[in-house]
């Protein structure tokens, strides 16, 4: 009788058993499924998402605050820069003027309306602008006797910044000028200053001199004054004018106290050979206050009756005065 023998292969030690951990014979996962590396992939939990959203929200809030603050500070800097521009401009305008020409002024400049000047606040607002009200104040601070005078210039600008009034200002001090320069150029018609009417007469009334030109000064400190003058003659005809016929000129100054000072030298100029008279003189230590400078002339000719008034006259004059502070 034959016996049926069925052969089964020997199991390897490394070959997993169908009934052990892994996958059961029925295909359902075993108790150890998902604990290996292949089962480590999974999503975010709700708590992790909420934490990330909170962190992102705080970051966005901080960025928004920083952006708004930066824009606000930039606007403040812009408005202040414009105010400083106006204050600097008005200060420079006054510094460019003469000492006596510096004066208090005020006005409005409109930002956003082509920088129009002298608009009232309502007109500026109607044009969509921001009014900048500027003011220039000038004062003469009290000083000790004998000190150099000066002027104090204060320039202020007021404007609104987000409903808040802002104000900036500049201050400068302008000392009394060390040097003053005065010039005068005059052209005369033929009949204005004819041939000097009186002859040169030392010891006579005003020594025979008559007025040609004058100017008035009012210095606040003691000055040394230098004067240069040129007189141009109009000679219609040289008839009856001899070589020795001359014109004398001189310069004198009357101080604030009434003292008359003469500057030397006087000039004596031949008429026929030199139709332009020029001279340079100096007055020292002229006291502060009103002073009057006068240029005079007189004639000295052999026979004045032969020279007609229409024959010779003053054509033009040029006077240059330089006043320098006396430091003695």
Same domain flag for 92 and 165: yes
Same domain flag for 295 and 193: yes
Is the dihedral angle over the CA atoms 124, 170, 88, 80 positive or is it negative? negative
Same domain flag for 171 and 154: yes
pLDDT of residue 292: 94
323 Cβ contact partners less than 8 Å away, ≥ 6 residues apart:
179, 180, 181, 182, 217, 219, 223, 224, 225, 226, 286
Same domain flag for 271 and 220: yes
Which residues constitute the domain of residue 238? 179-325
> How confident is the prediction along the chain (328 residues), in pLDDT tens digits per residue?
444 444 445 454 444 444 444 444 444 455 544 454 555 566 778 777 787 788 887 777 777 777 666 666 677 788 888 899 999 999 999 888 888 888 899 988 887 756 666 667 777 777 777 888 999 999 887 666 567 788 999 999 998 887 889 999 999 998 888 898 999 998 988 777 777 878 888 888 888 898 888 999 888 888 999 999 999 988 877 777 788 888 999 999 999 888 999 988 889 998 888 889 999 999 999 998 899 999 999 988 877 665 665 678 889 999 999 999 988 7
CA-to-CA distance for 74 and 132, rounded, in angstroms? 18
Which residue from 294, 320, 98, 322 is spatially nearest to 224, judged by alpha carbons?
322
CA-to-CA distance for 232 and 292, rounded, in angstroms? 22
CA-to-CA distance for 133 and 83, rounded, in angstroms? 9
Same domain flag for 187 and 314: yes
Local structure of 28: helix, strand or coil: coil
Same domain flag for 278 and 318: yes
Same domain flag for 163 and 195: no
Tokens of 35: 């604990």
Using CA atoms, how far residue 207 sits from 199, 202, 255, 300, in Å, is: 9, 5, 20, 12
Same domain flag for 107 and 145: yes
Q: How much is the pTM?
A: 0.60
């Amino acid at each position: 009788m034959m016996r049926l023998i069925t052969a089964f292969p020997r199991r390897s030690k490394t070959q997993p058993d169908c009934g052990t951990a892994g996958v059961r014979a029925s295909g359902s996962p075993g108790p150890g499924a998902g604990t290996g590396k292949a089962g480590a992939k999974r999503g975010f939990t709700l708590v992790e998402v909420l934490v990330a959203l909170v962190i992102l929200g705080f970051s966005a809030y901080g960025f928004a605050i920083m952006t708004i603050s930066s824009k606000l500070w930039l606007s403040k800097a812009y408005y202040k820069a414009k105010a400083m521009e106006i204050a600097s401009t008005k200060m420079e305008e006054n510094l460019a003027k003469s000492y006596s020409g510096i004066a208090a002024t005020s006005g409005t400049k409109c930002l956003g309306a082509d920088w129009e000047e002298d608009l009232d606040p309502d007109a500026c607002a109607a044009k969509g602008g921001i009014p900048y009200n500027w003011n220039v104040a000038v004062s003469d601070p009290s000083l000790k006797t004998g000190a150099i005078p000066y002027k104090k210039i204060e320039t202020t600008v007021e404007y609104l910044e987000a409903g808040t009034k802002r104000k900036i200002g500049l201050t400068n001090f302008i000392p009394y000028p060390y040097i003053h320069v005065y010039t005068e150029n005059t052209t005369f018609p033929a009949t204005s200053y004819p041939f000097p009417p009186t002859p040169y007469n030392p010891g006579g009334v005003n020594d025979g001199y008559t007025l040609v030109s004058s100017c008035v000064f009012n210095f606040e400190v003691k000055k040394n004054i230098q004067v240069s003058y040129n007189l141009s003659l109009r000679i219609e005809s040289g008839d009856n004018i001899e070589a020795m016929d001359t014109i004398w000129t001189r310069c004198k100054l009357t101080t604030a106290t009434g003292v008359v000072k003469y500057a030397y030298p006087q000039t004596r100029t031949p008429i026929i050979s030199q139709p332009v008279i020029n001279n340079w003189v100096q007055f020292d230590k002229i006291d502060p206050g009103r002073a009057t400078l006068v240029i005079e002339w007189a004639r000295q000719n052999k026979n004045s009756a032969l020279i007609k008034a229409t024959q010779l006259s003053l054509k033009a004059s040029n006077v240059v005065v330089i006043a320098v502070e006396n430091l003695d």
